[in-house]
Each structure stands twice: as C-alpha cells, then as structure tokens.
Homo-oligomer: A and B are copies of this chain.
C-alpha cells in the first residue's frame, strides 16, 4: 500500500472507474474527479447474443415504455370470488406456483400442497388415495401465471378456494391471488394435515364469503375500492418491503376493510374471529401485494424488443423467468436453496429449493429490491442494516429506472429500483435479490425458515438467447 499513499493528492490524476460504484462513490465523496465507465465482462457464453440484443434499436424505447407502463399500473381490490368463478377453474384442475411441472419432478412441498388440495376438494379422503390420483394423471394442473394469477410458495389453487380479484384501471387487466392462511403448518408450505384442511374449510365457509360481502360494500361506498398500490406505497414508508414483511400493509388493509365488514350484516362472532385471524398474520397482505405486482408486470408484457423481465417464479424444482420481448416463453434453471435463518432446530438440510410466485414482488421493484426500506427484517434472515442498503443499491445496477411513488426513506426517498433488464444482468453478472420463506423439503413439514435467494444465471442466459433470436437480423 505504501507506494499508493498520497496517490489521491496528485491533483492531475485522471481516474476512470468500472464495475460496482463503491470505489467511484468513495472517491467522489472525497471530491476526487472521476469518470465512471459502464463496462464489465459479460457472463461467459452470452457475449454474442448480448451484442445482438444491444444492437437492437428498439430496445431503449421498449424498455422505457415497459417502465412507464409498470409505473402507471394501478391495483384496486374489486372482488373476492371462488377460483371456479373468477378463473373458470374446472373441477379436477388445480393451479400451482412457478413454471410448468410434472408430478415426477415435483418437490416435497409441491406434492404436499397438491395432496392437500385433492383432499380439500373432496376428491380423495386421505393422502394415500390422493397420491394415487395425482401420480396417475387424475388431476390437471398448470401454472398460476398461465391464468394471470399468482400463488405464494407452492401456490396451489383449487376450484373452491376464494381469490382476491384486483383490477388495473389503466389497462383493464385483472389478476388474482388466494387468501393467506398464516404461517407454520399451512398448505402453501406443503403441509396437509387435518388442521390445515380444517383451516382451509373455515376460510371457504366463513372468511371468503365475509370478505366478499365487505369488499362489495366498500366498493359501493363513497370511498370506492381499496387501492392496493396506495397501501403498498405507504408500506415502504413503514418498514415493510412487501415480500417477507407485510405488517404495516396488513394493518392498513384491516383499517380500510373492517368498518364495512362490521356493517356487512354478518354475525359479529364471525366478524371478530375473521378480524383476529387476519390481524394475527402479518403476512395476510402479501396475497394482495402479489397480484398488485403482477398487474404492474402484465402492463409491460409483449413489447417487441423489450428486455425487461415480466415474471420470476419458482415451482420448488425450477426457477422460471419470462421477458417482455419474448412473450410467455419460460426460461428456466434449477431453483436454489435460500440462505438465511431457520425456525427451531431446522437446518439447511431440511430446506427445499426456492418455491413460489412471490418473486413477482421483486419483478415489480419491491421485496428484496426495497430491502433498504425494511432494515428491521434483515435480522430475521441473518443480515445487517448495511447489507440491506447495499442490496437495494446493487439492484439499481440491473434495473431500468426508479419508482418515485415508492421512495425509500433511508435513501433520502430515492425511488425503489424497478424493471429488471436482462441485458444488465448479463453484462454485470449481478443477479436479482429475492427475499423468501423456506419450505421443508419433505411433504407435510411446512415452513422451516426465511432468507435470501437468487435466480440461477441460466434463466437470464436463456432469456438473452431468446431475445437475440427475436432481434432483427443485422450485418
């Protein structure tokens, strides 16, 4: 180091920096003039495809349009309906999280949730019978995303489950998500014991109809539908990042809905039980944040030449990505095991690979991308406050722009990084940061922890090849 001492006191020094901005920022803070050069080696094997995509004259405009559409999308809670009505989900057809998947390749928690769904729908009365039906093709299933729905963790939706229905008034698009069951032994984490099925039945018989009544009453009131995007913007001011932490969002949802629930004419004991159920689950609002985020990315779909990611989703085996410029093509790679903290005596050996459609939050610029807004959660996933700030700052490197309506307080209200650009991921090698829950790898176990995870680079390598093929032929 000694020969470097005094280096910065040479006033004629010309400094060019490349890569992550840590060095540049440190020098800049000391009033040293620098030139920031945006250069990094591309991910190996992708350089040719990247060149072709970068040469596509449509890309800049297409990406700006995608960002503008994502920022303009709204999300109003317009109804609560059963999946058979809302999505036309036929008897014997289920939805699940992530890209398409066969029974043979399905992980423990995905199998557990499908088993539970089969029992819940009355198609089988026990797990053994359910497994025979599922493994012999007696049930059809497809990704939630194929019906513009999203499901956390296993994301299993069956026809009689109640769904939040959200409307984007800008595009007229609609998206759906089931009701959150709470934590621990719940279907979405692959548990399917009697208590799990009993809770789902109570949600079908009591909670769902009550929410429908309250939402309808609210929609007919002068206040109009609950604005999920507005609550999401507020959450970011209140320590939530919208994926692993939804405490403030859940509280604001309760504040906004409960008066109409009280006046709905439902039995007060059911209303109070429902209020306690929702209020006792800080994640209840996640199932409204997710379809709100889906509406944002739906607005950015199918723009020719656009390299913005519109879906990131995991089925517990594969991680899948969709990109605006290549429509509904899935680019997949193996789902990774999250890194974080475990409940009780569970360890990494008990954890299933990454699962769930909830990475739609990061795809829309919250969750791990807004980690700096939620320093209080870093302790629950084994990190520090500077880690949280660094995570958000890193995401600015791979996104098209910022969402000013989601100003992050500690970053002096800088907007959250929004619209992941495949070319930036390939050029920088920086992968999207995802906050997530961890399911036990054995069917029936339920949640074992929470932590951080990245998509496999294969998804983006596939996507850049797909974009290159879709780019105009040049030279």
Query: Is A429 interfacial (CB-CB < 8 Å)?
Result: no
Whether, in the assembled complex, A5 has its beta carbon less than 8 Å from a beta carbon of chain B, the answer is yes
**Interface class of chain A by DSSP:** helix
A254 close to chain B: CB less than 8 A: yes
- With an 8 Å Cβ cutoff, the count of chain A residues facing the other chain is 36
Task: For the complex, give the distance between the alpha carbons of A248 and B247 in Å.
Answer: 9
Are A275 and B248 in touch, CB under 8 angstroms?
no
A255 touches B279 (CB 8 A): yes
Task: Find the residue from A248, A259, A410 having the highest chain B CB count within 10 A.
Answer: A259
Tell me the residues in window 1-42 of chain A with beta carbons closer than 8 Å to chain B beta carbons: 5-6, 9
User: Who on chain B is nearest to A263 by CB?
Assistant: B272
Asked whether any CB of chain B lies closer than 8 Å to the CB of A269, the reply is yes
> CB-CB contacts of A237-252 with B at 8 A, as 1s and 0s?
1110000000110011
Report if A51 contacts B (CB, 8 A).
no
Bound Cα distance A268, B263 (Å): 6
Asked if A100 is at the interface of the complex by the 8 Å CB criterion, the answer is no
A376: nearest residue on chain B (CB-CB)? B237
CB-based nearest B residue for A239: B238
- Check if B275 sits within 8 Å of A262, measured CB to CB: yes
Decide: A409 and B255 in contact? CB cutoff 8 A: no
Rounded to whole Å, the gap between the CB of A423 and the closest CB of chain B is 32
Asked if A413 is at the interface (CB within 8 A of a chain B CB), the reply is yes
Q: Tell me, in angstroms, the Cα distance from A255 to B250 when the chains sit together.
A: 10
Q: Is A276 close to B, CB under 8 A? A: yes
Looking at the assembled complex, report how far the CB atom of A182 sits from the nearest CB atom of chain B, in whole angstroms. Answer: 15
**CB atoms of B254 and A263 under 8 A apart:** no
* Contact B259 A272, beta carbon cutoff 8 Å: yes
Q: Contact mask A306-323 → B, CB, 8 Å, 1/0?
A: 000000000000000000
Cβ of A398 within 8 Å of any chain B Cβ, yes or no, is no
Residue of B nearest to A262 (CB): B272
A291 at the interface (CB under 8 A from B): no
A386 CA / B237 CA spacing, docked (Å): 16
Chain B positions within 8 Å of A442 at CB level: none
Instruction: Say if the beta carbon of A385 comes within 8 Å of chain B.
Output: yes
Q: How many angstroms between the C-alpha atoms of A239 and B412 in the bound complex? A: 14
Q: For chain A residues 259-280, which have a beta carbon within 8 Å of chain B? A: 259-260, 262-263, 268-269, 271-273, 275-276, 279
Which of B247, B255, B271, B379 is A254 in contact with, Cβ under 8 Å?
B255
Q: Which residues of B contact A379 (CB under 8 A)?
A: 413
**Interface residue A384 (Cβ < 8 Å from any Cβ of B):** yes
Residue of B nearest to A264 (CB): B268
Chain B residue contacts of A255, Cβ below 8 A:
251, 254, 275, 279
In whole angstroms, how far apart are the Cα atoms of A238 and B236 in the complex? 9
Give the docked Cα–Cα distance between A252 and B412 (Å): 26
**A375, CB-defined interface residue at 8 Å:** yes
Q: Evaluate contact between A410 and B410: CB separation under 8 angstroms.
A: yes
Say if the beta carbon of A124 comes within 8 Å of chain B: no
User: What is the distance, in angstroms, from A230's C-beta to the closest C-beta of chain B?
Assistant: 14
Residues of B within 8 A of A276 (CB): 259
Provide the A365-390 mask, 1 if CB < 8 A to any CB of B, else 0: 00000000001100100001110000
Q: How far is it, in angstroms, between the C-alpha of A385 and the C-alpha of B410 when the chains are bound? A: 7
Q: How far is the CA of A9 from the CA of B6 in the complex (A)?
A: 9
Q: Is A258 an interface residue (CB 8 A)?
A: yes
B262 and A268 form a contact (CB under 8 A): yes
4 shortest interchain CB distances as A-B pairs: A251-B251, A375-B409, A255-B279, A259-B272
Distance of A118 Cα from B277 Cα, bound (Å):
45
A-B contact pairs, 25 of them (CB 8 A): A6-B6, A237-B239, A238-B247, A238-B248, A238-B376, A248-B251, A251-B251, A251-B252, A251-B254, A251-B255, A254-B258, A256-B279, A258-B275, A259-B276, A262-B268, A262-B271, A263-B269, A268-B268, A375-B409, A375-B410, A385-B409, A385-B410, A385-B413, A386-B412, A410-B410
